[in-house]
Structure 1
Amino acid sequence: MSNPITLQKLAELVGGQLSQGATDDVITGLNSITDAIPGEVTFLGNARYLPALKNTRASAALVQDGLDAQDARDGLALIRVKNPTLAFSTVIRWFEPPSPAITQGVHATAVVASDAVFDPQKVSIGAHVVIEEGVAIGDGTVIHSGVFVGRGVRMGTNCILHANAVIKERCVLGNRVILHSGSVIGSDGFGYEFVNGRYQKIDQVGIVQIDDDVEIGSCTTIDRARFGRTWIGEGSKLDNLVQIGHNCILGKNCIIVSQTGISGSTQLGDYVTMGGQVGVIGHLKIGDRVMFKARSVVTKSISEAGTYTGYPARPLMEGHKMLILPARIPELIERVRELEKKLAALEGDDTQS
């Protein structure tokens, strides 16, 4: 890293207030709160790392407004900001070298249908990309090596398709959509009927629609609708290894964390959050601002905003109680045995008398 900066300039860069530390001290790099060394800046983005402020070797830390300076190591410069995690992104951009410039145009090894619609001077199409008939690509879009774009796909401006992503036929992407490597958009929905002792495939003729500013993680799969559309709402973010079933609808600004599976025809409202390994059965409706903690199993529709957990998912406090109860079973069994012994003793006394 290069591009050193004084503490005062760093505070100005992130829109923060330097509350302790010499304004002309120089910062030469950045690191995590546990790995930082003198001369580097770090940040406290999660309260669980608060004890680390006493031990960090960093020269400075971005912390939230209102943090008690006594929680930090003596001599650690503090820059107070509203959101340390977000502000640290600005610090990263200051110190990290700029990304390599994207080469506009179409690589010689790309296979592009003659009727595909795009301006070759305003897009970048990498090596061994395949673009089939009837595709339309918006300006500023970058398609990295090995991507497959099926016939009739339409995508907006400034999208980024990382290596080996797949968009199957007729699917629609909005503006600024990001697909990470290995993601598959528009695979067939999981639809079969059991006929004469065998499973018979049901045609899946719908599409996937992904709205503006959606990001899809690596190896995430979104099935096309049986008919109509599977729809991912504006601003939603899907982690790696997520499965979205056919005809699902996700609202705006949803967060879906890794290894979550949402069965077909389930509808999510806006600002729904699902932790890792959440499972959702099909044909449910989830309201706005509902949060499911990791490994919850959702078995019924939920309309009331709040946090839910457990199997089946229940409101947070109730769910916690249900999760704790199985651990008490050995204790309860032992108590029952003791009560049975006491009861047997009492019955024996009654018989002797």
Structure 2
Amino acid sequence: MNLISASQIAKFVKGEIIGENFLVEGAIDLIPGKKSYISFLGNNLNDDYLNKTKSNLIVISNSIPIPNFDKTFIRVLDPKKSFFNIVDKYFHKRCYNSFNDDIHQTAIISKSTKIGSTVSIGPNTIISDDVEIEDDVKIGGNCFIGKGTRICKGSLIHPNTTIYNNILIKNNVVINSGTVIGAYGFGIIKDNNELIQVPHIGNVEIEENVIIGSGCTIDRATMSKTLIGKGTKIDGQVHIAHNVKIGKNCIIAGQVAIGGSSKLGDNVTLGGQVGVIDNLVIGNNCVVAAKSAVMKSLDDGSVVSGIPAINHLKKLRLDVFYSKLPELFKKNK
């Protein structure tokens, strides 16, 4: 394990180091902490946490005086941001690297596949015909990449991921384990009391810098494309149906389900277990609270909650009113 010095870390984040320089073994939460590990003191925490932590390298804000503790400090403008930049730079790969450094001998790769430089492909992964894998792409073990799919530079496909035919994954996308991209959607028509699944000949396009959590399903479009916009972050166990269009820099928490052909604008936040029915439009900068059911389209900047989802402040007022109903009934008996 390669160790990094406290002074090197301070230089990386352009911080001021105060105290002893020593080799750092890793990063850890402030409480309980660990000797020779780095932690950070959030702006909303006080010095009492420094009494309790075992960590002896602490990233703190340069807006507060140096505490009188036998520890080493790195002073920066934004402790949380700097700390996680440090973790990503020096410690991330130690605990979150599911990739080979090369192409595993058990991978099954079509002769028509185009592979860029410094690509890694894990054991038992299947790469179908006419796939294009650009530079610095990493694909874990037991994955399936369908015919005609293109995976662009720097993307990470974690183990046990299934990507169907003709999918476009742009630069620096991360797809976590167990996710399925491009399966048939739930497009059903009735014919003489028989349910028939309509053909889905579209695809899925995932733009740059998207992160998709574990166990997600993103269905292919019927004719055009299902789209995940640039910079969007999707938690685990999320379902995105056929023809959905998601804008840029959206946040979609776990167990959300978005019905077919609905459209989300940019900077939309959906809390955990939100349901969005099909064919809606959710405007830019909307926020939908957890466990809400969106049953109608939302204007830009809407903040909603509840089942069905309504204006959040109105929902809070109604909650207060409903809580007083038993008392009102007693008074009117």
* TM-score range for the pair, normalised by the shorter chain length: 0.7 to 0.9
Match among 272, 285, 288 for residue 284 of structure 2: 288
Distance in 1 (alpha carbons) for counterparts of 2:130 and 2:263 = 30
Mark the CA change 1:252 to 1:147 in structure 2 (over 3 Å): closer, same or farther: same
**1:13 aligned partner, one-letter code:** F
Give how far 1:165 is off.
Answer: 0.6
- Superposed, which structure 2 residues align to 1:98-177 within 5 Å? 102-105=100-103, 107-119=104-116, 122-177=118-173
Residue 83 (1) aligns with residue 78 (2) = yes
Match among 298, 301, 313 for residue 297 of structure 2: 301
**1:87 aligned partner, one-letter code:** S
Percent identity, aligned pairs only?
31
Aligned to 1:14: 13
Q: Indicate the larger mover: 214-223 or 25-34.
A: 25-34
Distance in 1 (alpha carbons) for counterparts of 2:262 and 2:154 = 30
Distance in 2 (alpha carbons) for counterparts of 1:180 and 1:169 = 18
More helix per residue: 1
TM-score (norm 2): 0.86
Q: Indicate the larger mover: 140-149 or 300-309.
A: 300-309
Give how far 1:263 is off.
Answer: 0.7
Give how far 1:295 is off.
Answer: 1.6
Aligned residues: 329
Distance in 1 (alpha carbons) for counterparts of 2:48 and 2:177 = 37
TM-score (norm 1): 0.81
Mark the CA change 1:44 to 1:304 in structure 2 (over 3 Å): closer, same or farther: farther
Give how far 1:94 is off.
Answer: 3.6
Give how far 1:225 is off.
Answer: 0.7
Aligned to 1:349: none
Gaps of 5+ in 1: 341-353
Mark the CA change 1:11 to 1:154 in structure 2 (over 3 Å): closer, same or farther: closer
Distance in 1 (alpha carbons) for counterparts of 2:62 and 2:315 = 33
Give how far 1:87 is off.
Answer: 0.9
- Report SS of the residue matched to 1:86: helix
Contact 1:53 1:73 survives alignment (8 Å): no
Match among 237, 261, 266 for residue 270 of structure 1: 266
**2:237 aligned partner, one-letter code:** L
Aligned to 2:252: 256
Distance in 1 (alpha carbons) for counterparts of 2:138 and 2:8 = 34
Distance in 2 (alpha carbons) for counterparts of 1:277 and 1:27 = 43
Larger radius of gyration: 1
Aligned to 2:331: 338
Mark the CA change 1:287 to 1:160 in structure 2 (over 3 Å): closer, same or farther: same
Gaps of 5+ in 2: none
Aligned to 2:29: 32
Distance in 2 (alpha carbons) for counterparts of 1:259 and 1:189 = 17
Distance in 2 (alpha carbons) for counterparts of 1:244 and 1:96 = 29
Give how far 1:310 is off.
Answer: 2.3
Match among 231, 234, 240 for residue 235 of structure 1: 231
Distance in 2 (alpha carbons) for counterparts of 1:314 and 1:50 = 42
Give how far 1:280 is off.
Answer: 0.9
